[in-house]
Structure 1
Amino acid sequence: MNPYPPAAEITSARKVTRRTLLCGMASATLAAMCPRVYAQHAAGVVTPPVRLDDAWLVDQTGQKRLLDDMLSQRITALQTIYTGCSSVCPLQGALFGAVQERVAKIRTRHPIQLLSIGIDPLSDSPSALRDWLARFQAGPDWHAATPALPDVDRIRIALSGSQLPLGNIADHSTQIYCFDANAMLRWRSSDLPRANEICDVLDALGRV
């Protein structure tokens, strides 16, 4: 049996193309107004889907977990953040907060989760991740975890789908990455997309 659904089954994700373009334009305007330009790489439906190389992460409870295990059997929206960020990461937290409010209304075959990946292992400790989640009133389906330092750039490159320079963590991507229940990366957003756009994709993946 083909584990990947036909293109028609992710029509909702494709329908957001125009909205993605508009969001990208808005994000470009935001970047022009800010002292930093946040790196954005490939955006849209990922064809063919991509499985990230597995890696160990430590979550907000201090538990050591494999990335593949964290993604499997769930529909996941993933973002990269670092807890010491005072510029764009609070916007990312607020974005996931808005998504969190909406996903309760989505009925899917698999549970939906939000995952914030810390990209500064020297500072993104379990306690720092807990504080960051609490700041945005994260519920039980919103998790955070930090990979080991040698795995950070490898994960960021795999998520980006590009060999363009990553830049330092202050210039990290504000894209959202959506995975299906088989832990396959299926969609990349533009920078700082709308909450409704993310929910449309999660809904489409959840019906597969």
Structure 2
Amino acid sequence: MAALASGVTPSFAHAQHGGPGLVTPPVRLDDVWLVDQTGKNRRLNDWLRGGITALQTVYTGCGTVCPLQGALFSAVQERLPGIRAPRRVQLQLQLLSIGIDPLSDSPAALRAWLARFEAGPAWNAATPALADVDQMRVTLSGSKTPLGNLADHSTQVYCFDAGATLRWRSADLPRVADVCEVLGALARA
């Protein structure tokens, strides 16, 4: 995704509302309150602003694709130290798992989720209020249609720039190298 930084994009990198690739125009999520794994309340855009963020949606009780998503972020986390931003800019690279089942994704469940995948300090988890889940999922997916139940949730990764805008959506269960490449391109942009 070095092309992202240079403004030149390969044909697979263009997304129009929902497809994988660049999100054009970039999208900002509603600034909802999240409760993180420590029980602290935090605004979503405050979390995203000032860093380059890869975000995924999960629910801690999932036994099918969510463990694969956890393993994906674990592998991305291992590569974060090798992703360099220009020296003049010190942007934090961060991973954020958003729990989409607020009735079960408590701070304790989110802590256990992170511990299961040996999350370090650059990887956090949080969940919005129940009333905000569907709108967040719709905005992330770029879909205009209802998304269905939690068991059918997306396995995409969403990458945000330092201005808290969604710039890239992956295909379902993306390759680790693709997520890292996009994070690096956004850090250099």
- Could you tell me the TM-score, scaled by structure 1's length? 0.83
Cα distance, 1:42 vs. partner? Answer: 2.1
Q: Secondary structure at the match of 1:104?
A: helix
CA distance in 2, matches of 1:78, 1:16: 23
Q: Which amino acid aligns with 1:17?
A: F
Residue identity (%): 66
CA distance in 1, matches of 2:12, 2:137: 23
Cα distance, 1:130 vs. partner? Answer: 0.1
Cα distance, 1:17 vs. partner? Answer: 2.8
Unaligned runs of 5+ in 1: 1-5, 21-40
**Corresponding position of 1:166:** 147
Q: Relative to structure 1, is the Cα distance of residues 8 and 204 closer, same or farther in structure 2, using a 3 angstrom cutoff? A: closer
Pick aligned residue for 2:168 from 187, 191, 194: 187
**Corresponding position of 2:6:** 9
| Greater strand content | 2
Q: Does 1:107 align with 2:88?
A: no
**Corresponding position of 1:142:** 123
The count of corresponding residues between Structure 1 and Structure 2 is 181
CA distance in 2, matches of 1:123, 1:73: 30
Q: Which amino acid aligns with 1:179?
A: F
Q: Does 1:84 align with 2:61?
A: yes
Unaligned runs of 5+ in 2: none
1:1-208 equivalences under 5 Å are 9-11=6-8, 14-15=9-10, 17=12, 41-108=18-85, 109=89, 110-208=91-189
CA distance in 1, matches of 2:135, 2:159: 18
CA distance in 1, matches of 2:115, 2:139: 28
Aligned-pair Cα RMSD in Å: 1.9
